[in-house]
Chains A and B, each alone.
Chain A
Amino acid sequence: MTVVDWKELIRWDRMPHILCPGCGNGTILNVLVRVLAEKFEEGELDPDKTVLVSGIGCSSRLPGYVKLDSLHTTHGRPLAFATGIKLANPDLEVIVITGDGDAAAIGGNHLIHAARRNLDVTVICANNYIYGMTGGQVSPTTPRGAKSTTTPYGNPEPPFDLCELVIGAGAPHVERWTTAHPAQLSAAIARALEREGFSFIDVLCQCPTNYGRRNDMRDPREMVKWLRENTSTRDEEGKIRIGILRDEEREPFLKRMYDMIEEVRTSEEGD
């Protein structure tokens, strides 16, 4: 067994990274590379067959720090690119890293259709309620009343619940955790990688620079505390539900596609 140290998976020549101090994406990257190192070491995944795909935004920069094949694509479209990668080479393990703006605004169409198709990918959505990279504009998950650079009087719109959205579209495996729950997040990513089909993990995370600063949580610790106190693994009044929100079996897209191709080819040969 090859020992895979998570440190070998980091592109150290790219350090320091561009994330702000206290950014939740740091936790997500940390957890992700440790889970991957473990999976590689156990032989459950092959580092040469693992591909990270992302769109645009702070979270979408994470694949660039990991020493694996990675595709940093256009705003909102990583799932569309991932569809091509996965269908063209089913042997690849494809992990999509996206954010709330990337996945749910410009990429909303691709998100629901990837869930509907049950595309065999793991999606990790760093949901920080804000457009961080562009400087703190409102996103589809910004809570009602929250301040952003484009909602200076408080957000008048209701937010998306991304888990409900993808469950509605047919995603079989959906979890929600926060950066205040790194151990649970780690287990969630490990589970998602074991599942065939579409796995979606909504990771509520802190953006002290652009969300916290405008909403009375300037210190990252305050935001992490808020995430811990305002979430629950049970249905509790006034709290955001976290945990495994759906875990069902559904025939994965790849299998249907390749079974069909096989059938066509066999019947051709029989003619």
Chain B
Amino acid sequence: MSKVDFLQGNEACAEGAIVAGCRFFAGYPITPSTEIAERMSSRLPEVGGVYVQMEDEIASLAAVIGASWAGIKAMTATAGPGFSLMQEHIGYAVMTETPCVVVNVQRGGPSTGQPTKASQSDVMQARWGSHGDYEIVALSPSTVQEMYDLMIECFNWSERLRVPAVLLTDEVVGHMRERVVLRDDVETVERELPPEGEEIEKPFPMEPDDLVPPMPVFGRGHRVHVTGLTHDERGYPATDDPEIHRKLVTRLCNKVRKRAREIHEEVGYDFEERESDVALVAYGGCARTVIEAAEELGVTVFRPKVIHPFDPDLIRDLLDGYEVLVVEMNLGQYVEMVERALDRECVHLLGYPGGYPPTPERVIREVKKLSG
């Protein structure tokens, strides 16, 4: 039965993970994400799951990937500096097509920065932090309810596409308390499995249906070799063949890119269209004050929940013809993607680093400057 509760964002995130089927958490404490680990350490054993506090963030994501290959849904949670340490394993999970979820409760940076303050400055790190060409899924909640709901979406898209999914949240949403409906009629997606007990000759086919091959699981007789090296269809290292590398990496990117619009439609976004020349764009914790400002000003507002993959066509469909003001808690990250989709001259930024979202008044002032 669905339950109504009054929870902190980080707690709701943990509950969302459990209802999505997560049964393994490996992590390393870091502010402002620790409540997720704490909640998981208490909740997982109750549902027969495993919580383990690893020696660092690198080990945490490694253990998560190992657990995923052993056949269970697994996650970790961290903040900016920890997310930086995890980057090599984000790339490894991409290359080995391992479903896993990483929650990044963003805080101010660079470096140790502002541990207890909010930020949205890992938008580009989520997309480009690891070396090589790749695509992942990153979702950004604005409410405690969405911490719960988008966590489930993260697991589902991760399983569906066999990619790491990032819940790219921030301290504002992670630490606020709100009413949340803990739905139990949740649709969960399980990775497609090959038949048990059969050796799989080609676990990594070049052109599988929908670009995502079924995932072998250790211990089920599949006898697969999994490597982070460029590999052929058999999973064997093939590092010198440019054609194999090109095909593999293109498929890994395309399986996410080609479904960008679908991911946006499925996860959803807010688009409040009003008679105005100006449209405001914001996401995550920052969107809360921006939406208030937009209502007060009577201007259009767009709030994406999907940050990656970016869908330039969607942005064009919705925002062409507006003077667009992107508001984010950084000196300009998401805005660069918007600029690539629209006429650059029409795209403006209110970049607001420092640890808090701008007030509605601050946003209103900026809009007035634009229209005045």
Contact = CB atoms under 8 A, between A and B. Distances in A.
Interface in A214-271: 257, 260-261, 264-265, 268
Interface residues of B, number: 48
A134 B52 CA distance: 34
A264 B46 CA distance: 6
Interface string B33-77: 000000000000110111010111011101111111111101000
Nearest to B89: A74
B55 A264 contact: no
Interface of A is mostly: helix
A88 B66 contact: yes
B58 A77 contact: yes
Contacts of A113: 54-55, 59
B219 A69 contact: yes
Contacts, number: 141
A160 interface: no
B276 interface: no
Given A74-B88, A84-B65, A85-B70, A69 B222 contact: yes
B62 A89 contact: no
A109 B72 contact: no
A6 interface: no
A70 interface: yes
A215 to B, nearest CB: 30
A88 B237 contact: no
Interface stretch (A60-68, A176-184, A193-201): A60-68
Contacts of B229: 72
A48 B225 contact: no
B372 interface: no
A80 B54 contact: yes
Contacts of A155: none
Given A72-B227, A74-B228, A77-B58, A85 B220 contact: no
Contact of B226 (A49, A67, A71): A71
A84 B66 contact: yes
Given A74-B92, A113-B55, A87 B225 contact: no
A229 to B, nearest CB: 37
Nearest to A85: B66
Contact of A80 (B58, B219, B225): B58
B206 interface: no
Contacts of A81: 62-63, 65-66
Nearest to A63: B225
Given A89-B71, A260-B45, A73 B62 contact: yes
Contacts of A87: 24, 50, 52, 63, 67
Contacts of B208: none
Given A48-B219, A113-B59, A11 B225 contact: yes
A77 B96 CA distance: 15
Nearest to A268: B46
B71 to A, nearest CB: 6
Contacts of A61: 237
B224 interface: yes
B223 interface: yes
B221 interface: yes
A11 B224 CA distance: 11
B352 interface: no
A115 B250 CA distance: 40
Contacts of B55: 80, 109-110, 113
Given A13-B236, A80-B55, 18 more contacts: A51-B219, A69-B216, A69-B224, A72-B225, A72-B229, A73-B228, A74-B88, A74-B92, A77-B62, A80-B66, A83-B26, A83-B62, A83-B63, A84-B62, A85-B67, A88-B67, A265-B46, A268-B46
15 contacts: A48-B219, A48-B220, A51-B218, A63-B225, A70-B225, A71-B66, A71-B69, A71-B218, A73-B92, A77-B59, A88-B67, A92-B219, A110-B55, A110-B59, A265-B46
Interface of A: 11, 13-14, 47-49, 51, 53, 61, 63-64, 67-74, 77, 80-89, 91-92, 109-110, 113, 257, 260-261, 264-265, 268
